[in-house]
Structure 1
Amino acid sequence: MGFPGTWMTESESMVYRVVPKCACSTIGQIMYYSDHGTFFDGDIHDAQAGMHKWAMDDSQPLINANVKAHKSYAFTCVRNPYTRILSSFFDKICGIQRNGRRYRGNLVPLLIQKYGIEVGDPETGFEFDQIQSFRRFLLFARDTIRWRRPMEPDIHWSAMSGHISTFIVNGGTYDKIFWTETFNDGMQDVLSAVETPHKVDLATIPRFNESEGHGPKRLHKVSDYFDDLSMHLVYEIYKKDFQLFRYDFENPDNKMPTGEIDLAEVHAKLGE
């Protein structure tokens, strides 16, 4: 199995387990900059050099040896499950992707046909009933995760705990898990714990939100999208995420964590 979704700087100063929709573009660019003193020109997910990634065959032995021996500082980043699933919907389902097409080709037509979802059109300013469509998308997301139908769950809306657990189960140990909601504080803790070839000043680092501007803007506050049934579905899908990463299930509008993450508990619960 190894360490899917794991990135490592070429200098091996740090190891990062990518969690989609959790500031991964910005974190990847910070890692790249810390080695090279420049940012990658383009989306860091497309970089085929300048950084080790598990998806690249040459990187796998290096990442494997490093992680199993816990040679470098290892970390990841999490996000409130309510805002994460909303972001996935607006970016991946409603948005036009970098290649100018809809995400995953036939996925959106399938959702329109099977779930009655509307996604709007960039030509007409993405006008559609966002709340109704999002709730139908949530049913689809639950179906993919619970029954793997009508397709396998997508990495952008599968639970964070699932991504994070593969690293632990296969022999990795996290030194830090921080929240996107307090990104600068968490990322600074990581940078303060490691030696990098180039110093990173977080205050001057731009945010690399590669999904921004591809789709419609969210028109309502978070809680408007989640009625009683939607909250029930979200808890069914993301129960461990709420519990382990200390997010507030009762109030969708409170995106901030309610307590500290217990790394020992995360390793125990996700390492089973």
Structure 2
Amino acid sequence: MGFPGTWMTESESVVYRVVPKCACSTIGQILYYSDHGQFFDGDIHDAKAGLHKWSLEASQPLIEANAKAHKSYAFTCVRNPYTRILSSFFDKICGIQRNGSRYRGNLVPMLIQKYGIEVGGADGTEEFDQIASFRRFLLFARDSIRWRRPMEPDIHWSAMSGHVSTYIVNGGRYDAIFWTEAFNDGLGKVLTQIETPHPVDLATIPRFNESEGHGPKRLHPVEDYFDDLSMHLVYEIYKRDFDMFKYDARDPSNKMPVGEIDLNEVHAKLGE
């Protein structure tokens, strides 16, 4: 299986396990900048050079050798499951992607037909009941993750613990896991532990939110989208995420973690 979703700077200063919808565009651009002194011109997910990625065949032996020998500092970043699934809905389901099309072609028409969701019309600009549609999307997310139907789960709403675990199971070890909600503090600590060809000043680095503007604007506070049933569904889907990364499953309005991540616990439980 190797190390899917793993990126590494060309200088091998640091290794990063990408978790979708967890500031990965910004982190990728910062890693690129730390080697080259400039940002990648475009979406960092499209970069085919300047950053080692497991998806690039030539990068695979370098990443594998580094990860298994733990030659470089390795980290990942996680996010509150409530805000992450909500962001996935507005970006991937309601939004028009950067190629001008709907995400995954026939996915949205299938959701409209089978689950009765609305997405704001052909271009996502029409008014619709965001709360009702999101709760129906949650049913689909649960079906795809729990029973793998009507399709395999998508990386943007499959559990973070699943992404994080592949790095451990295949022989890697994390030195840090930090929260998107405390981004500067978390990534700042990573940067103090590594030596980069170009210094990074987090205070002046822009945020690269590549999904921003794809879909309709969220009209309500996070907690309004989750009633008792949807909270139950979210906990059913993301129980390990709440437990491992110390988020509050009982209060969707509290996006901040409620405890410290225990790296030993993460390696023991996600490495099984």
Q: What is the TM-score when the length of structure 2 is the normalising length?
A: 0.99
Is 1:164 aligned to residue 164 of structure 2? Answer: yes
- Look up the match of 1:93: 93
Percentage of matched positions with identical amino acids: 83
Supply the distance in 1 between the matched residues of 2:118 and 2:63 (Cα, whole angstroms). Answer: 42
Q: Return the letter of the residue paired with 1:153.
A: P
Q: CA deviation at 1:223?
A: 1.1
CA offset at residue 125 of structure 1? Answer: 2.7
Deviations 1:196-242 (A, max 9, x none): 00000000000000000111011111111111110110000000000
The answer to whether the 8 Å contact 1:126/1:215 transfers is no
Mapping for residues 74-223 of structure 1, pairs under 5 Å: 74-121=74-121, 125-223=125-223
Corresponding residue for residue 18 of structure 1 = 18
How far is 1:121 from its partner? 2.9
**Alpha-carbon separation, structure 2, partners of 1:43 and 1:144:** 28
Aligned twin of 2:61: 61
Contact 1:74 1:174 in 2 (8 A): yes
Output the CA distance in 1 between the equivalents of 2:124 and 2:217.
13
Deviation per residue, 1:14-33 (Å, 9 max, x gap):
00000000000000000000
**5+ long unaligned stretches in structure 2:** none
Tell me, in whole angstroms, the C-alpha distance in 2 between the residues paired with 1:218 and 1:74.
34
The answer on whether the counterparts of 1:122 and 1:215 sit within 8 Å (CA) in structure 2 is no
Partners of 1:52 and 1:223 lie apart in 2 by 38
Distance in 2 (alpha carbons) for counterparts of 1:260 and 1:122: 43
| Alignment-derived partner of residue 51 in structure 1 | 51
Question: Take 2:108 and 2:166, find their aligned partners in 1: how far apart are those partners?
Answer: 29
What code does the residue aligned with 1:211 have? S
- Structure 2 residue aligned with 1:237: 237
Aligned residue number for residue 270 of structure 1: 270
How many pairs were matched up?
Answer: 272
Cα RMSD between the aligned structures? 0.8
Between the aligned partners of 1:26 and 1:221, the Cα distance in structure 2 is: 24
Amino acid at match of 1:177: I
Poorly superposed stretches of 4+, deviation over 2 Å: 121-126
Tell whether the 8 Å contact from 1:21 to 1:87 is kept in structure 2 after alignment.
Answer: yes
- Identify unmatched segments of 5+ residues in structure 1: none
Q: TM-score, normalised by structure 1?
A: 0.99
Q: Aligned to 1:178, what secondary structure does the other structure show?
A: strand
